[in-house]
Amino acid sequence: MPRIPEDILTKNPHLDGYVSRIRDIYGEPEFFEDLTLDMKYLESFNIVYPVGNPVYIHAYARSFSERFYNVIEPQIDPEIISRIDAIFARMAASIDAPEDPLLERSNTTSYMDVWEAIRATYVYPLEDLVERLENGDTSFIPGRKRVEAIAYAEV
């Protein structure tokens, strides 16, 4: 039975905590880096697999008719969300809107660009990425270059 590698549990404390909580209920889940098509024919299973760093799925079934899937992802501190919102507000204030919103964007950066960049470069803990943004490092966002540090004035 493939166990979840210790280095993955160390890098993902949310996964480690989840597995610790469910172990007594469902038993030790098997870990699969990749799923295979024949796995859909299993009548019962208890597995964990990655769907994108740092998100995992816990899939378990007692029969063909009872299949359950839980998303395992880190919880983001509300203070971090507030800091990200403040950064986005300051970035939005410095962005010129396109003359015709129906035309393809040229150098305009949207909130979606920022969120997509965060998802693509997310490293646990999120505080590191927020610190990069607060220090003006937006180089990982498509169409953006490093800007001066974003001040904490009230919006």
The total number of structural domains that make up the chain: 2
Q: Are 61 and 67 in contact (CB under 8 A)?
A: yes
Task: Mark whether 29 and 60 lie in a shared domain.
Answer: yes
Q: Residue 58: its pLDDT value, please?
A: 97
Choose the weakest-confidence range: 4-8, 21-25, 70-74, 95-99: 95-99
Q: Residue 109: its pLDDT value, please?
A: 54
Considering 45, 72, 99, which residue would you say is the last residue of a domain?
72
Name 50's bridge partners: 56
Q: Is the pTM of this model over 0.95?
A: no
Q: Tokens for 125?
A: 């803990």
Q: Is residue 88 part of a domain?
A: yes
Q: Are 19 and 9 in contact (CB under 8 A)?
A: yes
Task: Mark whether 101 and 129 lie in a shared domain.
Answer: yes
What separation, in Å, do the N-terminal and C-terminal C-alpha atoms of the chain show?
A: 54
Residue 102 has pLDDT above 60, yes or no: no
Task: Mark whether 106 and 123 lie in a shared domain.
Answer: yes
Q: Is residue 56 part of a domain?
A: yes
Q: Is residue 130 part of a domain?
A: yes
Considering 34, 50, 72, which residue would you say is the last residue of a domain?
72
Residue 140 has pLDDT above 90, yes or no: no
Task: Mark whether 58 and 86 lie in a shared domain.
Answer: no
Name 30's bridge partners: 47
The C-alpha atoms of residue 15 and residue 103 are separated, in whole angstroms, by 43
Q: Which pairs count as long-range contacts for 46-52, CB under 8 Å and 24+ apart, including other chains?
A: 48/4, 48/15, 48/19, 48/72, 52/119
Task: Mark whether 62 and 102 lie in a shared domain.
Answer: no
Domain span holding position 28: 6-72
Q: Tokens for 38?
A: 């024949």
Q: Residue 46: its pLDDT value, please?
A: 96
Task: Mark whether 94 and 124 lie in a shared domain.
Answer: yes
Task: Mark whether 64 and 10 lie in a shared domain.
Answer: yes
What's the pLDDT band for 18 if we cut at 50, 70, 90?
very high
Give the residue among 79, 57, 91, 92 at the shortest CA–CA distance from 125.
79
Give the tens place of pLDDT for each residue, 85-96. Answer: 787 777 766 655
Q: Residue 129: its pLDDT value, please?
A: 75
Residue 57 has pLDDT above 70, yes or no: yes
Q: What is the DSSP letter of 38?
A: G
Task: Mark whether 58 and 25 lie in a shared domain.
Answer: yes
Task: Mark whether 67 and 107 lie in a shared domain.
Answer: no
